[in-house]
Amino acid sequence: MNYYLSVLVLCLLLTIAVQLWHSFRKKPTSWFHKLLFFFYCVYLCLLFDSQTAPFSQWSFSFLKSLTDLSSLFRLSPVSLSDSLGTFIWFLPLGVFPVLLYGNCRRFGTFFIYGTILCLLTGIFNLLGPDGFSLYRLLLSLAGTFLGYLLGLFFLRLVPVKTPRTRKKNPDGTELKYVVILLLIFHTCFSSLFSGGLPFFKSAPVSDLTLELAAPEAYVMHLESRTPIYDKEGQKQIAPASTTKMLTALTAVDYCSMEEVVTVGEEIGLIPSDSSRAWLSAGNQLTFKQLLVAMLLPSGNDAAYTIAVHTGRKIEQDVSLPIEDAVSSFTEAMNKKARKIGAASSNFVRPDGYDAEGQYTTCEDLAKIAANCLENATLAEIMGTFRISDTWADGREVTYNNTNELLNPESPYYYPNAVGLKTGNSGQAGSCLVSASVIQGETYICVIMGDSSDTRWQDSLSVFHQIELEVS
């Protein structure tokens, strides 16, 4: 059953149950109140779905950060669009209770209700892949309390009657049970309806048997880090543009998403046959926009801009020569690779263009991909087919992802795909590092040394075989 259809059914049943309860206790409600209650239930489900992590995504890895509380509760930078989105999402959380429940019109009662709900969303995100953000918590609180004021203002214009009550505070009891029920529903069953709840979903595939055209391939179950298919997975091979996953993963350790980067003369270092994002010296864009320019169209110019900008930050020298900055960054890339277990690789260029002494393995690329998926921003970028944006200098751009599995108009489109990165070079052949979510489990597929068309078909063969295994 579709999750959102189940939301509507649950909210309708809950509305009917609550209205029957009101009738049994001789507390009649108007049709306006009934409709308002139904939409409040739907809103809560959508709020929890957009702002909190379901049970299948829970992890207790955040416990490792408790020794450094400053990193856990830092005011993480959030883009303007994300900030407004979070703020607006929480406005109705303040409006609905004020219109529905007379008890919630008292600021003291509402303060407890609003603060607890906002904290709950923060705690659920702490357990999920996005982690806790104090900045988002403050935005959610601000949105909720502005909604409270808007609700009171609306009541002055259009008085709304609430159900007659006999008990001193039945509103709080009803509100408490409604919120708890819907939060439990989201936490457990949003995963179930998408095939993700651990004790309802199929067990992950442990071993795949199939023939692929690619000379090197490696498939890994993300959650357990277990390989389920290995064809020359430890053989040293050229990485091509799959390198850019590590370039991004390294750079995010030093750069914030909203810092502005100025493109320099480093874009002249790329070979003439490079894939490009068509940057020009002097362009100004945020670091996140620069990641998009590198990861979607596979821009080698964007990779070098990231390398120089990050290399200078590493060395704390904004005037560091371009070559030295690139050298510092590639050194950081190799340190990052070893840190995450990709120790059989050596990277010489940030764009992955063929170079002497540069190599990786399918297994290492799978480990790099797994770490990319654990970064919410990188996973979002690499899982998106088309992104349009306006840079800090006013330039408007639209980039399409080179990954055909994400292209809805492609014959190779695969709806379960969530990324990740293509590659192509003379030494590496045509490559694809992809990932998909099947029955709530994430699988990473690395296809190297293939042809331009068979890399898509090989990847689809892997995912279709996994579907058969788990069905």
The answer on 382 and 455 residing in a single domain is yes
The answer on 232 and 117 residing in a single domain is no
The answer on 252 and 135 residing in a single domain is no
How far is Cα 200 from Cα 246, in angstroms, rounded to an integer? 35
The answer on 270 and 184 residing in a single domain is no
How far is Cα 113 from Cα 93, in angstroms, rounded to an integer? 10
Q: With respect to residue 198, please indicate whether it lies within any of the assigned structural domains.
A: no
The answer on 276 and 171 residing in a single domain is no
The answer on 347 and 220 residing in a single domain is yes
Q: With respect to residue 280, please indicate whether it lies within any of the assigned structural domains.
A: yes
* Alpha helices by DSSP H, 73-133: 80-100, 107-127
Give the residue, 179 or 2, on which the prediction is more confident. Answer: 179
Lowest mean pLDDT among 162-176, 308-322, 359-373: 162-176
Q: With respect to residue 200, please indicate whether it lies within any of the assigned structural domains.
A: no
Give pLDDT, residue 247: 98
Give pLDDT, residue 87: 79
Q: With respect to residue 208, please indicate whether it lies within any of the assigned structural domains.
A: no
* Tally of domains within the chain: 2
How far is Cα 443 from Cα 99, in angstroms, rounded to an integer? 46
Q: With respect to residue 206, please indicate whether it lies within any of the assigned structural domains.
A: no
The answer on 264 and 139 residing in a single domain is no
Q: With respect to residue 384, please indicate whether it lies within any of the assigned structural domains.
A: yes
Contact 30, 161 (CB under 8 A): yes
Q: Which of 359, 398, 388, 322 minimizes the C-alpha distance to 246? A: 359
Q: With respect to residue 27, please indicate whether it lies within any of the assigned structural domains.
A: yes
Give pLDDT, residue 271: 94
The answer on 226 and 176 residing in a single domain is no
CA 331 to chain centre: 28
The answer on 233 and 155 residing in a single domain is no
Give the residue, 176 or 253, on which the prediction is more confident. Answer: 253
Residue 53 has pLDDT above 60, yes or no: no
Which of 144, 159, 193 lies at the terminal end of a domain, its last residue?
193
Q: With respect to residue 177, please indicate whether it lies within any of the assigned structural domains.
A: yes
Give pLDDT, residue 203: 55
Domain extent, residue 259, equals: 216-470
CATH (domain of 373): 3.40.710.10
* Band of residue 249 on the pLDDT scale cut at 50, 70, 90: very high
The answer on 421 and 324 residing in a single domain is yes
Give the residue, 233 or 48, on which the prediction is more confident. Answer: 233
334-341: average pLDDT: 95
The answer on 170 and 246 residing in a single domain is no
Looking up tokens 């770490």 gives: 371
pTM above 0.85, yes or no: no
The answer on 262 and 149 residing in a single domain is no
